[in-house]
Each structure stands twice: as structure tokens, then as C-alpha cells.
Amino acid sequence: MRILVVNAGSSSLKLSLLDHDDTVIARPADLSALRGLPEPDAIGHRVVHGGAEFTDPVLLDADVEARIRALTELAPLHQPKSLRGIDTVRRVLPDLPEVACFDTAFHAHLPEAAATYALPAAWRQRYGLRRYGFHGLSHAYATRRAGAMLGAVPRRLVVCHLGAGASLCAVAGGRSVDTTMGFTPLEGLVMATRSGDVDPGLLLWLQERENLSPAALADVLEHESGLLALAGTADMRAIHDGLALDVYVHRLRAGIAGMTAALGGLDALVFTGGVGEHAVGVRRRAAEGLGFLGVAVDPAAEDTVDADISVPGAAVRTLVIAAREDLEIAAGVRTVLNR
């Protein structure tokens, strides 16, 4: 089955055309570039939010699309992009089966202790307030790939998806049991332009003194914070030392240790995403502070992917894995259409 994978961003569509064996035929720049390429048999869409309802990939039809659209209130910055991607591709390829694959699905069965906010029960029930988690397609793929590289999925695995957005996931026997992102993708680690964890009392204090509307405060937290606020750039490739890197690594180490606590120990650690794959200094500095967990990275390991970078004999295996959400989406499409 030849699959077109669609990842809708804020201003563009990222497309991957995969052959029957998951070989990449092309990564067309836009839909017009599909002309002259082999025709896909099906389409797989990345959808950021599946709420509590969508816990597996699902065949798109009018009813499912309406239910996805109804979740926009939970992800007002991200869900419309996914829906626009579906609409855009359908206009060009109207007759192909389409499958929605959800970034929240991998975290859908978090233990209640990990998923629950200490907020009034009436609010939690009325609005579906819980920790949903994101980057699930990347975490799921990295888990499967780690299993293939090590011979079996590690019993206690922490996956670090480090890109413009960043999150950690504690994986116990192949299942997500904790993660750093929560009700929104703002929670957790310092990111390129997102703040990560901030004292909510500080935000209320600032909102009053700066006379900020909720929309204005959200814009600052989403687009003017993180590395950009600390270093003047959101590009980790331009940050080699200083406060921004210190803060980033401090939060990363603490997060990995927290995920390890949720697992009761650590057997393997994975770095993935653009920063995770290529920022050698970030990996090295993170590992230096995690020696007490058994993490030890080969200092000679440089810009490498799909590789074990542990020192020989390390108690914890440390892997660098290329982020391939497209393969996870393709697997979801095949699962749905081959039932």
C-alpha cells in the first residue's frame, strides 16, 4: 500500500510519499509536486489532538471529522491546522481513503495519578481537564525503533523528543505511563519559543501588572519565550554556552530523572527530534548529570542517528533515533485499512 503522509504546519504542509515497504519515494514540496509521482493508495494525516475519544488511528468520514473539529476548543492553536491539511489534500485527492493518526493517542491510557490535575472535580469533569500529552507519534515510533535496535522494547525507557517543541515520555513495557506535556503543549521542558513550566502564580501576577489579555499572554508563552527569550534565538545550533543552554539542560536532566522515577529505574534512554539527533553538546551535558542513573555517553559519538552511543558496559543504553512520525502514521493507516 503506497501512502501519502500529511503533516500540517502553521503555514505549510509537510508531505511524504512512502512505497509499499516504507521506502521514501519523495518528500514533495507541495501538492502540485505530486504530479508525475506514483499515485498513493491512501492518505495518513497527523492530527494533534484526539481528546479522550480517539485513542487509535481512525478512518476519516464526515462524522469523525466533525468530532475532530469539536475538539478545537482543547487545541485552538493546533487543531485548525490539522483540519486545514485534511481539507486541502481532499480537494486534490478526493477519492482516496484517509486515516487520522493522533499525537495524543500514545498517552491516552496514562495512569490516573499521572493524568490528573489537582483542580476542582467539577472543572475536570465539565471541561475534560487532564494531562493529554503530545508528540505521541514520535514517542511511539522511537519506542518501536528502540525495540528493533536492542532486540526487544526496553522494560523501562525514557524517550526525549527534542525539537522546536520538546517533551519526554516514560515508557513501561511499550506503554506511556508519564510525559511532560499536559493539557496543552506548553507544559514541561523549555522549548524553542515556548516557556515550558512556569509558576501559575507568576503568570497571574504578570497578567495583572502588564494588563495582559488571555490571548496576549498565550502569545507570549507560545511565541516569545523559551530559548528565544533566553538567548535571542530559537535555533539551538546557534547556542553553544550561556544561561539559555544551562537552563535548557537543567530542565532536561530534571525531567529525565522524573520520568525515571515514574518507571522505578531506567534501562534505555532515547534522544530524537532535531535537537536530540544533532545537538551533540546537549546530549553530552544531559548525560553528564545523569551518571547516577547509569547513563554514560561515548564522548566520541558525534552527529549520528539510529545508533547506540553508550560507552561499553554502561548500565543504561543510550540511543539516538531519527524522528520518523511518517512511518508511525503509515503503520496506523495500514492497521486501519487492513482490518
3-state secondary structure of 313: coil
**Spatial separation of the C-alpha atoms in residues 125 and 87, rounded to whole Å:** 32
Last residue of a domain, one of 78, 98, 132: 132
Q: Is 212 in contact with 298 (CB distance < 8 Å)?
A: no
Pair (258, 128) in one structural domain:
no
Same domain flag for 165 and 268? yes
Condensed to tens digits (0 to 9), the pLDDT of residues 76-89 reads: 878 999 999 999 99
Q: Is there a single domain that holds both residue 14 and residue 108?
A: yes
Chain position carrying cell 476548543: 73
Instruction: Specify if 30 maps to a domain.
Output: yes
pLDDT digits (tens, 9 = 90+) for 19-74: 999 999 999 998 899 999 999 999 999 999 999 999 999 999 999 999 999 999 88
- Class of residue 332 by CB neighbours under 10 A (exposed 0-12, middle 13-18, buried 19+): buried
Tell me which residue range forms the domain holding 45. 3-132
What is the structure's pLDDT at 8? 83
Q: Reduced to 3 states, what is the DSSP secondary structure of residue 134?
A: coil
Is residue 239 in a domain?
yes
Closest among 18, 26, 24 to 1, alpha carbons compared: 18
The values of phi and psi at residue 54, to 5°, are -100, 105
DSSP 76: T
| Residue 137, C-alpha cell as written in the block | 507519534
The per-residue DSSP string of 194-233 comes to: ---S--HHHHHHHHHHTT--HHHHHHHHHHS-HHHHHHS-
Same domain, 159 and 307: yes
Regarding whether 297 and 180 lie in a shared domain, the answer is: yes
What tens digit of pLDDT does each residue of 111-130 get? 999 999 999 999 999 999 99
Dump pLDDT digits (tens) for 284-326.
999 999 999 999 999 888 778 999 999 999 999 999 999 999 9
Q: Are residues 296 and 167 in the same domain?
A: yes
Q: Read off the pLDDT of residues 89-104 as tens digits, 9 standing for 90 and up.
A: 999 999 999 999 999 9
266, pLDDT greater than 60: yes
The residue type found at 159 is V
Is 242 part of any domain?
Answer: yes
**10 pLDDT band (50/70/90 cuts)?**
low
- Which neighbouring-strand residues pair with 320? 271, 307
Whether residue 21 is found in the same domain as residue 95: yes
pLDDT at 11 over 60: no
Tell me, yes or no, whether 145 lies in a domain.
no
Number of separate domains in the chain: 2
Partners of residue 18 on adjacent β-strands:
3, 24
What is the domain-level CATH number for residue 18?
3.30.420.40
**Whole-number percent of the chain with pLDDT over 90:** 91
Q: Where are the beta strands (DSSP E) in 70-143?
A: 98-102
Structural domain includes residue 144: no
Name the residue among 171, 156, 189 with its Cα closest to residue 275: 189
Mean pLDDT of 158-162: 98
103 in catalytic set: yes
Backbone angles phi, psi at 45, to 5 degrees: -110, 135
Question: Exactly one of 22, 87, 95, 103 is catalytic; which is it?
Answer: 103
Is there a domain that residue 218 lies in?
yes
- Do 124 and 10 share a structural domain? yes
Is 123 found in the same domain as 156? no
> Residues 188-204: what's their mean pLDDT?
97
User: Is the torsion defined by CA of 267, 252, 245, 163 positive or negative?
Assistant: positive
State whether 158 and 80 are in the same domain: no
Phi, psi for residue 20 in degrees, rounded to 5: -60, -30
Instruction: Specify the DSSP class assigned to residue 297.
Output: B
Tell me, yes or no, whether 22 and 50 share the same domain.
yes
One domain, residues 185 and 310:
yes
The answer as to whether 137 is a domain residue is no
pTM above 0.85, yes or no: yes
What 3-state class would DSSP assign to 255? helix
Evaluate whether residue 195 is within a structural domain: yes
Assess contact for 161 and 138: CB atoms under 8 A: yes
Adjacency order of strands within the sheet including 156-162: 175-179, 166-172, 156-162, 268-272, 317-320, 307-308
